[in-house]
Amino acid sequence: MWEWMAWTTPVAVFFTCIVLMLVGMTIWEIKSPTVMRKGFLPITTTRGDRLFIGLLTAAFINLIWVGLGEKMTQWFSLESEPSVWISFVVSMLVLALVLRKG
């Protein structure tokens, strides 16, 4: 059933983090309903909105990193493609920023 996807450790960790965030946000929403607020995003958002925007941003960061991996090897004269763990950390930091300040 899952053969179509390349389940590497970084991919599994990324999706596990997403599932844990969704479960955590659901429990948080039940315990403490959200209020609309305005941060640096140009719209008024709820916690769920910021999570959705942050997850999309994190996914795009990872896709761009993987897409540019071969080019970065040429640009920076690397021996191998840069680790996807770098993009994972960067995307999680951006996600945290959007959730906190967005």
Structural domain count, the chain: 1
What pLDDT was estimated at residue 2? 61
What pLDDT was estimated at residue 60? 93
**Does some domain include residue 4?**
no
What pLDDT was estimated at residue 8? 78
**Does some domain include residue 84?**
yes
The 10 Å Cβ neighbour count of residue 66 is 14
**Does some domain include residue 3?**
no
Asked whether 21 and 51 are in contact (CB, 8 A), the reply is: yes
Where in the sequence is the domain holding 77, given as residue range(s)? 9-101
**Does some domain include residue 41?**
yes
Q: What is the block-wise mean pLDDT of the chain (102 residues), using blocks of 10 residues?
A: 70 84 90 90 90 91 87 84 86 92 87
What pLDDT was estimated at residue 1? 58
What pLDDT was estimated at residue 23? 93
